[in-house]
């Protein structure tokens, strides 16, 4: 029996590719030898998902299965910090934060005092690296 996650992927792909029920069941029969996704083996489910991807379906982030990562919408900014750098800055800050009641506000104050940047979203690539190193040093000192 496939996992709930695999079943969800199969049914989402069916809907997004616009497969009618007859075409969908024929595809299941040809690929995995079953006429229902519920009866698939884990290997059969993997084969069906791989086939659906080869047909042009792309799983997307967002929704219940794959909630969007923070800052994911800021991916294509040349010369600016990457979303993973921004998440890393926030994660390290959460460890060394002086103000657990207002971590975002205290991070903004830290960034402005040390780097003259008002928010993590405005960090360029070079400054983001400096911020990460500064936060690592603070964490290492044990504050």
Question: Average pLDDT for consecutive 10-residue bins of the chain (143 residues)?
Answer: 85 89 90 88 87 84 65 80 91 81 83 93 92 92 73
Q: How confident is the model at residue 130, as a pLDDT?
A: 94
Dihedral sign, Cα of residue 88, residue 90, residue 95, residue 96:
positive
Residue 22, helix vs strand vs coil: helix
Note the pLDDT of residue 143.
Answer: 58
Among residues 72, 89, 92, 94, which one has the least CA distance to residue 123? Answer: 89
CA dihedral 63, 119, 83, 137 (to 10 degrees): -130
pTM: 0.53
d(CA 91, CA 69): 13
Q: Where do the structural domains in the chain lie, given as residue ranges?
A: 4-54, 72-141
Residue 59: predicted pLDDT: 76
């Amino acid at each position: 029996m496939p996992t709930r996650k695999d079943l969800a992927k199969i049914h989402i792909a069916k809907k997004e590719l616009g497969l009618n029920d007859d075409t969908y069941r024929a595809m299941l029969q040809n690929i995995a030898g079953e006429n229902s996704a519920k009866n698939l083996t884990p290997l059969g489910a993997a084969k069906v998902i791989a086939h659906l991807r080869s047909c042009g379906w792309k799983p997307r982030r967002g929704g219940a299965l794959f909630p969007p990562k923070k800052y994911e919408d800021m991916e294509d900014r040349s010369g600016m910090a990457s979303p993973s750098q921004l998440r890393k800055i926030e994660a390290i800050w959460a460890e060394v934060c002086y103000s657990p009641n207002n971590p975002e506000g205290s991070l903004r104050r830290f960034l402005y005092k040390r780097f003259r940047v008002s928010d993590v979203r405005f960090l360029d690539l070079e400054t983001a690296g400096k911020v990460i190193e500064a936060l690592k040093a603070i964490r290492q000192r044990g504050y």
